[in-house]
Amino acid sequence: MDLVLTETAHATETSRRLSRIGRAGLTCLAVDGLRPGACADVPRHLVSTTADSLALLAYDSGPATAPAAPC
């Protein structure tokens, strides 16, 4: 399964951009909307991997600078 993790605010645009580069088959999953146990009834399957399998996980914790003081 090809999967792109994103947030709800970016999911539609991410899907559009993927389609434009010929990757419309990728699934975009908005992880900010997941609740614990929300997928408990979804059947699970093992994913086989090889030395050629690729996984990329990018994490952004927010701005690298201190937050601005409120006005």
Characterize 29-57 residue by residue with b for buried, 16 or more Cβ atoms within 10 angstroms of its Cβ, and e for exposed.
ebeeeeeeeeeeeeeeeeeeeeeeeeeee
- Is there a domain that residue 59 lies in? no
Count of structural domains, the chain: 1
Range of the domain at 21: 3-33
- Is there a domain that residue 53 lies in? no
pLDDT at residue number 68: 60
- Is there a domain that residue 64 lies in? no
pTM score:
0.51
- Is there a domain that residue 25 lies in? yes
pLDDT at residue number 35: 75
pLDDT at residue number 20: 93
CA quadruple 10, 14, 15, 20: dihedral sign? positive
